[in-house]
Amino acid sequence: MKSYNYFILTCLLILLGACDEDQLIEVPSDFLSPEISYVSPADIEAALVSNYGRMRALNQGTNNNLMHSGTDLCMWARSPEIQGLGDYRTGLIPSSDVALEFWNRYYKIIFNSNAILTRIEAIEYEDQAEKNLHIAEARWFRGFAYRSLGFLYGGVPIVLEEISSPRRDFERSSIDETLDQAIQDLEFAALNLPGVSEVKADGRLNNAAANHYLAELYLAKGQPDQAVSAASTVISDPNINLMTSRFGNRATDEGDPYWDLFQRFNQNRSSGNQEGILVLQEEFNIPGNTQIAVTNGDNNFRYERHYGSLYWFLNGPDGVGAFLGPTSRNLGRPVGFVRPTPYFTHTVWGWDSVTQTFDPDNRNNNRNIQRDWVVDNPQSAFFGQKISDFPQSWFDNLTAQDTLRDYYPNITKISTPNDHPVEILVDVTTGQVANTAGQTFTDWYQIRVAETYLLRAEAYLALGNTAAAADDINILRNRAQATPVEADEVDMNYILDERMRELNIEENRRMTLSRLNLLFERTVLGNPFSGLTVQPFNNLFPIPFAEIELNTLGKLEQNPGYVN
């Protein structure tokens, strides 16, 4: 027995002598882990690309619809009284998918950013400028995520370091602390990111994208002077300008500068566009994005499919189908999930029911908001006629299904009219598209300077300078050839209406209204279904019950008004 114990002790001493602390650390080599995934600048670059993908993914899938539906801008086109937050009492509760969906999406950006910021210090860079750029990008993404969580949920747990083991002890920070963290990250990014004309590729982060969101955050913090300064930094950049002349692809077609902004290939600076500040790269069949195949899956932008009306189901007054089917000239193949509210389609454009006219505004032109269609089915007795010329009896006999889902004004920026990729056409002559169509086959604005003007107008309003606010708003209205607003007409509701006119579908409407604590008032004002059930506490999302349930060693307090 003594000799056996001596052998064991000798082996232990040999092992202890032969191993230092680093050698005892387990580093997996047969699957990806942070220890082997973050070892070079190229690995950090790849991790940042993942964050760009996560930001793009916020525009994908069904749940993105709920950033617009259930507000003053949009409502559901199918069973609108219950679906798409048509009924807030059942649609927005702690156990609902939407509450967890966006919580998870933004925290994934935070966790990935924290891993980058933690691991980057151990990586050798030949170029210190590249390292500083990577840090600035990671902090922009983290600031963007905390900004978004703060506006949607209020105060949330602030995590600033990589989490390498399970945690169940999170505590909520205050809304001020959450927004302060976003500001700290974005202020760093604003000082360290390149200018909009200096980025190494289309769609990469720049200092204007940081200053734009800083203006928004300063407003949320009640600091309008700082908001004016941040917005002015963006607006005064000589490389950033509102587009007031025709440009880019299809500039010789009938159109206007606003329309040009949303045509294929026109979003990036290479087209001559100086208005886009941050553009999500989603053009069809470009390596590295999500649209390299024709599919209706969740891995692509589906604004066309979800937000356009099911026009191609309509029968004319003779009972014959009015259309050959879905065609490129008629906004592709939408199926009518989400539709604009009457408040957006009529009220904000100054609809006069007596004269049947709108106030002048190019953004409401039929090429920007399609309200009329031309019958293209040769078998129809009304072939070649506009729907607006149909007998009044046809309109009188429209069903709820027709008016809610099949026939409503379509915002054309959701699609690429007369310019769909040839790969999805089944008939080049007629422009008919395949059943697998429905994607939005173009890049998409995350930020453009038109919104920065409206943020500065909001800041001037908060400072009591309505004349300066009107001047900024009129920059946009003059481009649209709309009647200028007078200083005494400018209030927060007017600015929110102007945001609808200029930024419809582009802006995250729910985020804007929640930031301003006006989701309840504006939804009651503009949504005929959601306005009946929305409550003031719905201004914030509930904290997901799944997160509360898992957090057994800490306390994630639920937002007031919600019951777990």
Nearest C-alpha neighbor of 314 from the set 375, 242, 258: 375
- β-bridge pairing 444-448 and 276-280: antiparallel
Contact 72, 527 (CB under 8 A): yes
Nearest C-alpha neighbor of 47 from the set 158, 156, 123, 157: 123
Contact 146, 158 (CB under 8 A): yes
What pLDDT is recorded for position 62? 66
Contacts by 547-555, CB closer than 8 A, 24 or more apart: 547/100, 547/103, 547/170, 548/94, 550/168, 551/168, 551/169, 551/170, 552/168, 553/167, 553/168, 553/169, 554/168, 554/169, 554/170, 554/171, 555/171
What pLDDT is recorded for position 35? 62
Contacts by 491-500, CB closer than 8 A, 24 or more apart: 491/461, 492/458, 492/461, 492/516, 492/518, 495/454, 495/457, 495/458, 495/461, 495/469, 496/72, 496/522, 497/348, 498/454, 498/473, 499/451, 499/454, 500/72, 500/73, 500/344, 500/348
pLDDT digits (tens, 9 = 90+) for 238-284: 999 999 999 999 999 999 999 999 999 999 999 999 999 999 998 88
What pLDDT is recorded for position 8? 33
Contact 426, 437 (CB under 8 A): no
Which DSSP string do the residues of 55-95 spell out, in sequence order? HHHTTBTGGGGGGTBTSSSEEESSSTTTTTTTSHHHHSSTT
Question: Rounded to an integer, what distance in angstroms lies between the CA atom of residue 211 and that of residue 278?
Answer: 12
Question: Rounded to an integer, what distance in angstroms lies between the CA atom of residue 150 and that of residue 181?
Answer: 10
Instruction: List the domain boundaries for the chain.
Output: 38-174+515-564, 303-442
* Angle (nearest 5°) at CA 34 between 28 and 38: 115
* Burial grade of 357 (CB within 10 A; 0-12, 13-18, 19 or more): exposed
Question: Rounded to an integer, what distance in angstroms lies between the CA atom of residue 419 and that of residue 427?
Answer: 13
What pLDDT is recorded for position 513? 98
Contact 559, 543 (CB under 8 A): yes
CATH (residue range 38-174+515-564): 1.25.40.390
Question: Rounded to an integer, what distance in angstroms lies between the CA atom of residue 140 and that of residue 163?
Answer: 19
pLDDT digits (tens, 9 = 90+) for 463-489: 999 999 999 999 999 999 999 999 999
What pLDDT is recorded for position 371? 97
What pLDDT is recorded for position 63? 67
Six token digits for residue 429 = 């002559």
What pLDDT is recorded for position 30? 46
Question: Rounded to an integer, what distance in angstroms lies between the CA atom of residue 316 and that of residue 380?
Answer: 7
Question: Rounded to an integer, what distance in angstroms lies between the CA atom of residue 8 and that of residue 16?
Answer: 12
What pLDDT is recorded for position 449? 98
**Which residues, in sequence order, are bridge partners of residue 357?**
352
Radius of gyration of the chain (CA): 26
Question: Which stretches of the chain score pLDDT less than 50?
Answer: 1-32, 290, 292, 296
Question: Rounded to an integer, what distance in angstroms lies between the CA atom of residue 34 and that of residue 53?
Answer: 19
Nearest C-alpha neighbor of 160 from the set 133, 135, 142, 134: 142
Nearest C-alpha neighbor of 208 from the set 468, 451, 500, 474: 451
Interacting residues of 121 by C-beta distance below 8 A, sequence separation 6+: none
Q: How many CB atoms lie within 10 A of CB 239?
A: 12
* Angle (nearest 5°) at CA 515 between 220 and 336: 155
What pLDDT is recorded for position 161? 94
* Burial grade of 12 (CB within 10 A; 0-12, 13-18, 19 or more): exposed
> Among positive and negative, which fits the CA dihedral 104, 107, 109, 114?
negative
Contact 341, 530 (CB under 8 A): no
Which DSSP string do the residues of 264-318 spell out, in sequence order? TT-SSGGGT--SEEEEE---TT-TTSS-SS---SSSSB-HHHHHS--GGG-B-TT
Measured between alpha carbons, how far apart are the two ends of the chain, in Å? 63
Question: Rounded to an integer, what distance in angstroms lies between the CA atom of residue 379 and that of residue 384?
Answer: 11
What is the CA 94 to chain-centroid distance, rounded? 23
Question: Rounded to an integer, what distance in angstroms lies between the CA atom of residue 490 and that of residue 302?
Answer: 35
What pLDDT is recorded for position 496? 98
Read off the pTM.
Answer: 0.92
